[in-house]
């Protein structure tokens, strides 16, 4: 069943509200919180809204066509998520939601400037494309960010770390740009790991256009995410609002290389505001691309954590797991001690009965019987008329 056929009024309302204002519109978010998607959309359309909502919606009030957006999305394999969707990233966005409520309360009571309150407003809806899922994002994920004009050092570190982290079941998130972003995506893809690309524009408009292939491969192995509807251009302000999603999706945010004015520092600030660890890779003091990282590490308040190894990064985004390589290579490695002892006690050829195996192994008869039952279940021994027979073929690794 296609999404447009299924699209209920809520989805249409979400698509409408998602386009009618630019992301992180504080007044619109408050309206939706109070009245829900359908009511809020109807109020905006009827221009029956407070002046602050009118100000951020009237330019597109009458031209926004959610049917067209949903149809364009369907043509491009893109679907729309709202907080009612099973795949909505509630876990990852929880911190932003709490922060937005607190900051809005401070703004409404005059204790905070509006601009400072509006920066970390949760998205009303998200467009996604690909096979990955978002529901558990943030539990074991890393946002890797950095300079577009990365050095060979930054590229190497980003792709190496992304590869090693993806191999350890950490979802790698980045923004799809040249430089550090691309290196991070490529490392995760090379590891066949989970990866998420958060785009500033519509998902049918890869940016930069040279990354169309990267977008396609990420959609296949992971997920593309954007707050903007299909067809949207990646405008400057959308990069800044996009960065808050990257910060929110990562269990931690890792800045690999950043110049003094890099957008990665904006992402790092969002992560800090959301209470997420900010990690930074040090580099040569002679490299302009490490100046931003060093500034983060030198902060008096809430400095970034200096990381030099994958193990250190892991300690901030979910911890170490056994690599496939470190897992049992053969079934034998996975057996308990009693089963191994019984297996080793089998004669080189022929059959044996439990009594013999007990004498040969030194295990009590009851222990031998339990071990034989387990070994039988695994297909390593078979019971025949003459007793138990070993099937060593089953022990070889895959």
Give the interface with a copy of itself as residue ranges (CB under 8 A).
153, 156-157, 281-286, 290-291, 294, 297-298, 305-306, 308-309, 312
Residue 139 phi, psi (nearest 5) = -80, -40
Q: How far is the CB of 265 from a copy of itself (least distance, A)?
A: 16
Q: How far is the CB of 164 from a copy of itself (least distance, A)?
A: 13
Q: How far is the CB of 163 from a copy of itself (least distance, A)?
A: 15
Pick 5 or 285: Cβ nearer a copy of itself: 285
Pick 237 or 284: Cβ nearer a copy of itself: 284
Pick 63 or 286: Cβ nearer a copy of itself: 286
Q: Rounded to the nearest 10 degrees, how much is the dihedral formed by the CA atoms of 251, 257, 261, 262?
A: -50
Pick 39 or 284: Cβ nearer a copy of itself: 284
Pick 196 or 254: Cβ nearer a copy of itself: 254
Q: How far is the CB of 179 from a copy of itself (least distance, A)?
A: 17
Q: How far is the CB of 275 from a copy of itself (least distance, A)?
A: 20
Q: How far is the CB of 250 from a copy of itself (least distance, A)?
A: 20
| Cα separation, 67 vs 47, whole angstroms | 20
Q: How far is the CB of 282 from a copy of itself (least distance, A)?
A: 3
Pick 131 or 284: Cβ nearer a copy of itself: 284
Pick 30 or 157: Cβ nearer a copy of itself: 157
Pick 36 or 282: Cβ nearer a copy of itself: 282
Pick 46 or 285: Cβ nearer a copy of itself: 285
Contacts 24+ apart (CB under 8 A), 337-345: 338/363, 338/367, 338/370, 338/371, 339/371, 339/374, 339/375, 341/371, 342/368, 342/371, 342/372, 342/375, 343/371, 343/375, 343/380, 343/381, 343/390, 343/395
Q: How far is the CB of 183 from a copy of itself (least distance, A)?
A: 15
Q: How far is the CB of 226 from a copy of itself (least distance, A)?
A: 32
Pick 26 or 255: Cβ nearer a copy of itself: 255
Note whether 183 and 159 are within 8 A (CB). yes
Q: How far is the CB of 280 from a copy of itself (least distance, A)?
A: 10
Q: Which two tokens stand for residue 224?
A: 């593309």
């Amino acid at each position: 069943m296609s999404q447009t056929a299924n699209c209920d009024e809520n989805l249409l309302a979400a698509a409408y509200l998602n386009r009618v204002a630019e992301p992180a519109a504080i007044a619109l978010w408050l309206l939706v919180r109070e009245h829900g998607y359908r009511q809020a959309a109807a109020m905006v359309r009827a221009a029956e809204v407070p002046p602050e909502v009118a100000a951020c919606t009237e330019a597109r009030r009458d031209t926004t066509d959610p049917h067209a957006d949903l149809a364009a999305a369907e043509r491009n394999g893109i679907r729309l998520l709202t907080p009612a969707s099973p795949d909505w990233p509630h876990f990852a966005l929880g911190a932003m939601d709490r922060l937005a409520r607190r900051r809005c309360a401070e703004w409404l009571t005059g204790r905070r400037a509006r601009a400072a309150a509006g920066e970390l407003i949760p998205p009303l809806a998200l467009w996604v494309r690909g096979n990955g899922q978002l529901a558990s994002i943030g539990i074991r994920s890393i946002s890797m960010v950095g300079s577009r004009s990365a050095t060979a050092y930054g590229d190497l570190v980003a792709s190496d770390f992304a590869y090693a982290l993806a191999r350890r079941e950490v979802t790698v998130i980045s923004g799809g740009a040249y430089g550090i972003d691309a290196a991070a995506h490529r490392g995760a893809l090379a590891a066949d790991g989970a990866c998420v690309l958060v785009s500033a524009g519509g998902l049918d408009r890869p940016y930069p256009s040279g990354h169309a292939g990267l977008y396609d491969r990420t959609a296949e192995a992971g997920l593309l995410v954007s707050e903007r509807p299909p067809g949207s251009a990646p405008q400057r302000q959308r990069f800044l609002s996009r960065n808050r999603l990257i910060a929110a999706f990562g269990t931690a945010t890792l800045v690999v290389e950043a110049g003094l004015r890099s957008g990665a520092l904006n992402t790092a600030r969002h992560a800090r505001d959301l209470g997420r660890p900010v990690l930074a890779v040090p580099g040569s003091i002679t490299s302009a691309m490490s100046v931003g990282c060093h500034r983060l590490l030198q902060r008096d308040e809430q400095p970034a954590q200096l990381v030099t190894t994958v193990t250190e990064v892991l300690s901030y985004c979910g911890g170490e797991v056994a690599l496939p390589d470190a897992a049992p290579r053969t079934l034998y490695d996975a057996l308990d001690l009693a089963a191994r002892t019984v297996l080793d006690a089998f004669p080189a050829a022929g059959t044996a009965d439990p009594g013999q195996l007990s004498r040969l192994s030194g295990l009590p008869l009851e222990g031998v019987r339990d071990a034989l039952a387990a070994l039988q279940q695994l297909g390593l021994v078979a019971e025949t008329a003459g007793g138990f027979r070993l099937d060593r073929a089953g022990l070889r690794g895959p």
